[in-house]
Chains A and B, each alone.
Chain A
Amino acid sequence: MQAEQTTNQEPTEHITLFAEPIHQYGSFTVTNSLLTSWIAVLVIIILALALRSKLKTVPGKLQNLFEMILEGALGMCDQVTNDRRLSMKIFPIAITVFFFILVSNWLGIMPLGGFGIVERGAEGLTFVPFLRGATADINTTLALATMAVIGANVFGVVSIGIWKTFNKYVNLKVLGGIFTKIRHEPTIIIVAPITFFVGLIEIVGEFAKIASLSFRLFGNVFAGEVLLASMAALVAYLVPIPFLFLELLVGVIQALIFSILLVVYFTIAASDHDSEHEEHTEARAEHELSSPSPL
């Protein structure tokens, strides 16, 4: 399979920060990570269809495994949201992200690095593998992180309304409150502008979320691939095996972290801070009224 060009020079293999192109369709470049991503999609589709065809009231092995994963994941989702109805809304996206990242991560560490093409570049002949972990490409993690953050905000708009979501970032409500509450709370003249600027910082925070989600996943997976390649280069046999298992574990952990963070972002987006604050104030007032007077 290794389509090696006829040359006397030995091809060199470089670990690059970016995914290498393996084919060009007009202006669209097919990279090895995109190919892995397509394979991951195919694997998930085959698994989903296999599961669908074997669905029974009394579950088989595959269905049992999926049910266990689903129940565990839903329980974990509940721990974050504290609300089963909210969990049921977020869960399909979170579990899809989990499976997509997991399969992509595991495909990336499959020992199929020997399949690829040899290209002549500026540094001579270089070997380009067909498969590279989809999440070891910043484009994939950036796509996932952007969708997660945009999805969370859309979910927030659907859950609590566009006005409340808008006020989380551009808090016009608190600015308006200066004129209505200044007589009762004079400190609002200081607190309101601070709250307004905190809202503006939240906009930056959304971009920071995209950066942290994408670079965390990319960094961990890419570091794993570098580690495996280094180990294989140092000692070809047996020694890389424990690291392969470690990377399998890292693949699960990273998929889990990304999914849980996605659930956290969706939960935060769906929570109404104002009503929570009002509820808290009301509860405090009720408590003060109901508690006996020290006099």
Chain B
Amino acid sequence: MDSIISTFHIDWKIIIAQALNFGVVFVVLYIFALKPLSKLMAERSQNIRKGIDDAKTNAALLSETRAEYDAAIVKAKSEADKIFQEGKKEAEQKRTIMLEDAKKEVAAMVEGGKKTLEAEKVKMVEEAKSEIVNLAMLATEKLIKSKQDLNSLS
């Protein structure tokens, strides 16, 4: 053992000095480099992880919103179609009612016209009859008068 110590000049004072050197390096490196750098790297990793998580959440939200949008569009289309069909049906009904009313009105007007025409015809026939009677009477009067004249002449 002594030969090793003397050959290699092993000196406990230098060993302690070297240990102190290492201690100083450890403290300085830990305080000024390792701790802040590790903290910074951990924060960066956390930020990146948070960014990835946020991106995933946003992607999920976007897909959900897109699905909702598509569903809303489909629903709106179906509602619009329904409203259109209802409107069409209502318009058809109204058209039918109006057509029927118009037909009834036309029928009533035709009926009225017919009645007026019939009345006019009857009136005209009666007027014609009275005219004929008058004419016949006039003719008869004239005949009688002319006969009387002839008689008087004769």
Contacts and interface: CB of A to CB of B under 8 A. Distances in A.
Contact of A41 (B14, B19, B25, B37): B25
B15 A70 contact: no
Contacts of B24: 41, 45
Contact of B32 (A17, A31, A51): A51
Given A48-B28, A96-B29, A138-B8, A144 B41 contact: no
Contacts of B26: 92-93, 96
A163 interface: no
B41 A67 contact: yes
B21 to A, nearest CB: 5
Interface residues of B, number: 30
A202 to B, nearest CB: 21
B9 A18 contact: yes
A99 B34 CA distance: 12
B149 interface: no
Contacts of A34: 14, 17-18
A139 B14 contact: yes
A19 B37 CA distance: 36
Contacts of A112: none
A275 interface: no
A28 B13 contact: yes
Contacts of A71: 41
Given A28-B13, A67-B37, A139 B18 contact: yes
B151 interface: no
B10 interface: yes
B34 A95 contact: yes
B37 A66 contact: yes
B34 A140 contact: no
Contact size class for A? Answer: 35 or more
B154 interface: no
Nearest to A19: B9
Interface in A138-153: 138-140, 142-144, 146-147
B22 interface: yes
Interface string A13-25: 0000111000000
A55 B29 contact: no
Contacts of B13: 27-29
A125 B22 CA distance: 34
Given A37-B21, A66-B37, A49 B15 contact: no
Q: Which 6 A-B pairs have the closest CB atoms?
A: A18-B9, A143-B18, A48-B32, A139-B14, A52-B32, A138-B8
16 contacts: A18-B8, A29-B11, A31-B14, A37-B21, A40-B25, A44-B25, A45-B28, A48-B29, A55-B40, A70-B38, A91-B34, A92-B34, A99-B25, A139-B15, A139-B18, A146-B15
Interface of A: 17-19, 27-29, 31, 34, 37-38, 40-41, 44-45, 47-49, 51-52, 55, 57, 63, 66-67, 70-71, 91-93, 95-97, 99-100, 134, 137-140, 142-144, 146-147
Given A92-B29, A100-B22, 15 more contacts: A18-B8, A29-B14, A37-B17, A48-B32, A51-B33, A55-B37, A66-B37, A96-B22, A97-B22, A137-B14, A139-B8, A139-B10, A140-B14, A140-B18, A146-B15
